[in-house]
Amino acid sequence: MVLQEWVDKETEELIHGMKAKGYLKSPAIERAVQAVPRWMFVPRNAIQRAYSDAPVDIGEGQTISQPSTVVCMTEMLEVQPGMKVLEIGTGSGWQAGILAKLVGSGGKVFSIERLSELAETAKLNLQNANIANVFVKVGDGSEGLKEHMPFDRIIVTAAAPEIPQPLFEQLKVGGRMVIPIGDLYRQEMLIVMKPRPGVVDRKTAGKFAFVPLIGRYGFKSGRPD
């Protein structure tokens, strides 16, 4: 079987499984999953596992989240064409690629990665996938990206002990943030909304497990004290 046939088959099976379990509901997100080849965002020695609904090690103690988690968070985010989105935790870039397809040519995705080697790999992955509207920065994601605020949407792909204040400040009024909050082992996914300046509305959306958000407004390290 040639590569494209295998990718098409694996993608179709993955999408079917996520729809059957109720994770994938949006036609726009389904098209984005089809358009961003996941195999291009995993290490070469893990390509055979690219379309399993499981996280994959991408080095530096980090993982590319399992597809159903990416889809769930993206559904919660309610991204629309033309939006400006901030992603915290680029990883290998697949989530950023999905967001880029959703915002379209009129929108932008800014993504912050703490680890420079992963950031460079993500840039290359996105370039190889012909995705041009993602801008990857190296830095402390818990501090956000003040120079490009405000953001219509913010997605945090690592766990924080509480909502980082800079991220909430950089969220546009009427905007939405999706972020896992908890300890180093287990977190609750929060959908955070900002109906008026300084006002936080939040609702919980299930239990998840993520790597920690390391930074000034996150965890100091990935190890328990």
Q: Write down the catalytic residue from 26, 65, 68, 142.
A: 65
User: Which pair of structure tokens corresponds to residue 12?
Assistant: 């179709």
**Contact (Cβ atoms closer than 8 angstroms) between residue 75 and residue 29:** yes
Residues 6+ apart with CB under 8 A from 39: 7, 10, 47, 50, 51
> Scanning the structure block, which residue is given the tokens 């040639």?
2
Give 103-138 as a DSSP string.
H-TT-EEEEEES-HHHHHHHHHHHHHTT--SEEEEE
User: Which pair of structure tokens corresponds to residue 21?
Assistant: 């379990």
Q: Are strands 151-156 and 171-182 parallel, antiparallel or unpaired?
A: parallel
65 is catalytic: yes
| Rounded CA Rg of the chain | 16
User: Which pair of structure tokens corresponds to residue 195?
Assistant: 């109906």
Which positions are annotated as active-site residues? 65
